[in-house]
Amino acid sequence: MAADKPRGCFISSGRAILMTLLVCVVIIAVALIVFFSTTSAQNGLDHGKGDYSGSLVHTTDSCQYDPIVPAQWLHRKLGQIRDADNDDCMRILDAGTYMDGHDLYLKGHIPNALFYNTSQCLFDPQGRVGDLPDEECFQEYIRLLGISRNTHVVVYDRYLNIVASRIWWTLRLFGHNKVSIVDGGMSAWTRLGYNTSLYSPRVKKTEFRIKHNPSLLVDFDDMTAIVKEKTAQVVDSRDPKEFTGETTTPGYKTGHMPGAINVPLKEVLDTDDTIKPPGELKQIFADRGVDLTQPIVSTCRTGVYSTTLTAIFFSLGVDNVASYDGSWQDWSRRATDDMITTG
């Protein structure tokens, strides 16, 4: 009697061999898909169940441009970039600190990041971070940074997200909506143990053109009408004692705009300086009397911290928000006494 033929992937019939091999390939492919899907979820690629705690939970990856993204998201994206010098899909910007930070950039930064000079293109060379840049100069500067209309700009800083938020707001003001803030900035990056770099990409100049988005900006005249007519909620991010007038700031009157709601920036930040989760943020705003379904104008002392609030509102899906660029430094010097209140 002939020996039994081996069963499985190796049998004698040519047709059977082909069919069996095909079945084996399909089984292996399915197994690999299941394996990598499980691994991706465990590594946080499923944003709804990711390992990022203490900040915003993001439900998108690359199709939409979330206002605020966790450092883990950027770390994964960097793994997909092969040539930083010629990659125009994403541009990472290091915004440094409130005053400068270029020296810190030179000592180490997130890989592929370029340094963003916050004093570049200001009307006054000694101007604040909160000053709006000269438009033609800004347009040329953005081109030199290799940013085009198709570029996703990812910006981080080394100071409570506020400098990055200002850049996020400025880019959107000038018509570039593909911009995200790295939550927690450089502190979050290093705290997670991710590598830093000393290399600065050599990018190609682009043809970026400014396109205004006036809905994001409120000036003094706009603010006066809003306060008088109560057409929007005014959310002030200053310290509570400064808001009420208990403490004074040299060069400024004390108090706040009539009807303004105080939501100090520190209340929306966690202990690690990342932004609190959406549920907590919504509760904080609700407790303070902020209606997220109604128009909002964010303000602060100089027009910088307010943009962080604006970015947070956008991250919650609230887009009827503008920032008062002059903020309290402008209001306290120009408003009449009946337009300033204390307590």
**Separation of alpha carbons 218 and 322, rounded Å:** 6
**Separation of alpha carbons 311 and 273, rounded Å:** 15
AA identity, residue 96: G
Strand-pair partners of 122: 133
Alpha helices in 133-207 (DSSP H): 135-144, 162-173, 185-191
What is the distance, to the nearest Å, from the Cα of residue 154 to the centroid of all Cα atoms in its chain?
7
Burial of 139 (0-12, 13-18, 19+ CB in 10 A): middle
The reply to whether 121 belongs to the active site is no
Q: Which tokens sit at 178? A: 């593909």
**Separation of alpha carbons 310 and 62, rounded Å:** 22
**Separation of alpha carbons 272 and 188, rounded Å:** 8
- Tell how strand 233-236 and strand 217-218 pair up: unpaired
**Separation of alpha carbons 75 and 196, rounded Å:** 11
Q: Which residue of the set 9, 121, 137, 300 is catalytic? A: 300
Secondary structure class of 276 (helix, strand, coil): coil
**Separation of alpha carbons 95 and 113, rounded Å:** 10
Active site residues: 300
